[in-house]
A and B are shown apart, each in its own frame.
Chain A
């Protein structure tokens, strides 16, 4: 990832962070990793970050890896009532 760090936009950074959390839970198996990542995001991300993450789901320009997309979709479902 040459050039990451200084160059990431906030959306790119959120997707990157979700991917990084997923990678650290990957040893649990994909399903459990996704669930653990969702739980982590619910516990530690502020509402604005969660909203941006969810908004990326319907943004055709957002290039989200499949597992990150699955995480954000679950975040959307979990936070729907609010």
Chain B
């Protein structure tokens, strides 16, 4: 593909009755409400424009897009004038040309004429419009041209604002308002002195700007432009691919010069993001070229030795021989593996296939164990399938949005912006969260109810909401009769109706005033379409699975499943965590969530793979570590996951890894887990391979290779799936895939929900939401539309069982953990980018009362101690957290928040209870001895022996 900008229709798409009109003699039919500008663009008539772009509502300020309409006086702006039946429009007349040229002269009289040395040269709308209106002279002179010279704002690490190049079209301001919803920008001053200002003119970095890039994308000149374009020049080709950060699954145009990535620009056609992005996907891709990346395979006999760089052949042979040796010595089930939610569906499928077919056991698990495994259990039990019920677009039809244990503006920012947009349009919001997240109150948005519950009391709170709905007669009886198991409903309704489950009875337990809870329950049940979005604040508890089922119960009781605007939607964390679960990464399930004990399903795979499968479930990650400590589990293949940093109780994880004889890590960097590895296989980034990711709305999207893998000699390395295939071949398996499309064909052949998925269809449709099969050949935006996948929806009684993690005199505070916008999970990627400018360390949020009681001032070093361990970090005093609750992020290995978290976990899935740890906080002098030792040991374990010189 050669480089062209995405077509810009000038104003947003409309839906309505068809209206026919004539533009420059051409008949045109468009939906009512469409602007003349858009209608013209649809028949390839480009009316000159500067302040209009199709991601924003029309504004009508630049006066370039004037047209003539038969029977109307004057020259209306085509961006703000909607089409009308039988309208006759002329876009090019002598008068219009003269007017446009005159306006253009005014613009250029205040614009430097340094086009040849300007960073937007060749990609500038102002330049294009000057050309198209035939500007030849500027009668007003050029004196105004550089009056804002020298006022550049270079504070943001990713883009530069140069007011001298600004034409004050307000596109950036409107993008920040309408698309991102942060409202950080404004036009300051008047006339020639007009200038875009971030917050109170404090500069972009210190301002409220979240660096999503919407303003840069909207800018028609080089006033706001990516620093990479300033450094490298404009791109010469673009490839559409899918972001590898969170579960929103934004699609981007990777704009390239040769093998060099110039910029990532959100793709307007992308159905998950509709042309929007966040600071991570848009800008934080520098890790892919970071010098810390390991590009050669390495081995060592013991973890005390330095690494030795070896050839791919030697490393692969070592993995195969070590795994076979261990199995001969300790048994078939003595090894296992972990698939990566960062990798593609095809790669994940191959890793679980390697384990089931090659290792001959089911010891496979994935990071969903520590995030959304309760979603799998809970939604499968109640609805019959382990996934969100809606597409993201559904939120546009929601009337009441219930957000539980999720922080979309930080964790899923692009979808967070969609929620905010819907809220600005009038939808009501209920937030259930111990912390006052940004959604609770931000510009133009205020939650109708914020229920700041005590961590660990989700089930009690949701059951009390159900109590209100049932006892006040707010249930949707017709829906329940038609679609749900009525016996189970009756049992559940009786349970929740007991006085002990009322909001008043649990007020002391949850800390939420009963009246607020009642009002929130009434709003959800009666406010129109009710949509629930939840995150890890639901799942990472000892009752994570129960909470998911309690949510499903609420949605069924109110008839809020099965149509747009409603539903139960887990906001999945990783880019492909939905996919890795779909692909059979759990030890008890084959791809498509079918239990390994089901002999018919097993037979299907056995026939295809020519092998007998182990009918018994395998070990979960934490069970693997237990078994390792006990001496029965000896080897592990870990693809793209850092369990030492991300899993709870670091000491336990370290002991398990240390007890193994062969730990193989496939990753981009020497991550924390690699400190205990014997073989390191360098990974490839999402930019270096083909495949698919599946996002939180079950949307399967293509990942396309835009550059050669760097993990090999002469820039010719291997995609991760190729490395797994080589390991499989070395272990004697007959694999011969030459492209991931063939792996997808195998997935489709073996998995009913994917039966209709092919790369050709993905190419044609852009994306597909599973199930894609005979019944739904184009995919399924809304699940459970006519009936629940399991048949009748199942109400499950969810009794509140308090966690065993208790506060007491020694550990009086409750720690809960979360994420921040600029960093991503363990930070392996984002810490290797300029995103460090926003969040260079993890801080402990503590309420002023708790801080004062302990003599802690803002910024002080404090020790954070639990029954599991101790660490130190700096305090951040804030009223976002309630008294008695403290909060931190887990992005930095120096902090090691998981030294603190305990082994307690969800009763059904062993998903760790990250969100509730009893702790004590005290002033401290700086990093603990343990942290210093850890740092020293990390350096020791990362030594690499230089390879022998070639000559």
What residues of chain A have their CB less than 8 Å away from a CB belonging to chain B?
1-6, 8, 10, 13, 17, 20-21, 23-24, 26-28, 40, 43-49
Contact = CB atoms under 8 A, between A and B. Distances in A.
A49 B629 CA distance: 14
B336 to A, nearest CB: 10
Nearest to A8: B903
Interface in B525-559: 542-543, 546
Point out which of A2, A23, A40, A46 has the most chain B C-beta atoms below 10 A from its C-beta: A46
Given A1-B804, A13-B626, A46 B903 contact: no
Contacts of B630: 10
Contacts of B632: 48
A46 B623 contact: yes
Contacts of A1: 804, 806
B902 interface: yes
Contact of A48 (B588, B627, B804): B627
A2 B495 contact: no
A28 B626 CA distance: 31
A51 to B, nearest CB: 10
B629 A10 contact: yes
A27 B627 CA distance: 32
Nearest to A2: B867
B542 A20 contact: yes
Interface stretch (B170-178, B191-199, B614-622): B614-622
Interface string B789-831: 0000000010101001110100000000000000000000000
Nearest to A27: B799
B626 A40 contact: no
B942 interface: no
Contacts of B629: 10
A44 B588 contact: yes
B595 interface: yes
Contacts of B618: 46
Contacts of A3: 867
A33 to B, nearest CB: 10
Contact of B801 (A6, A10, A24, A45): A24
Contact of A27 (B588, B595, B797, B904): B797
B908 A40 contact: yes
Contact of B363 (A23, A27, A46): A46
Nearest to B799: A27
Given A20-B542, A46-B619, A5 B495 contact: no
B902 A5 contact: yes
A10 B903 contact: no
B794 to A, nearest CB: 14
A66 B617 CA distance: 26
Contact of B903 (A6, A23, A40, A47): A6
Interface residues of B, number: 41
A38 to B, nearest CB: 14
A21 B906 CA distance: 9
B750 interface: no
B907 A47 contact: no
Interface string B584-607: 000110000001010000000000
Given A27-B495, A46-B619, A10 B626 contact: yes
A23 B363 CA distance: 27
A21 to B, nearest CB: 5
Contacts of B868: 5-6
B733 to A, nearest CB: 23
B908 A21 contact: yes
B333 A48 contact: yes
Given A6-B649, A27-B797, 12 more contacts: A4-B902, A4-B904, A5-B805, A5-B867, A6-B651, A21-B907, A24-B908, A26-B801, A28-B797, A46-B363, A46-B618, A48-B632
B422 interface: no
Interface in B899-928: 902-904, 907-910
20 contacts: A4-B902, A5-B805, A6-B867, A6-B902, A6-B903, A8-B903, A10-B629, A21-B908, A23-B801, A24-B799, A24-B907, A26-B801, A27-B799, A43-B597, A46-B362, A46-B618, A46-B619, A47-B616, A48-B627, A48-B632
A10 B587 CA distance: 19
Contact of A20 (B652, B805, B867, B907): B907
A13 B617 contact: no
A25 B177 CA distance: 49
A10 B652 CA distance: 12
Point out which of B617, B627, B652, B808 has the most chain A C-beta atoms below 10 A from its C-beta: B617
A64 to B, nearest CB: 17
A24 B652 contact: no
Contacts of A44: 588, 617, 908-909
A46 B805 CA distance: 26
Point out which of A1, A5, A47, A49 has the most chain B C-beta atoms below 10 A from its C-beta: A5
B144 interface: no
B613 to A, nearest CB: 14
A20 B902 CA distance: 16
Contacts of A8: 903
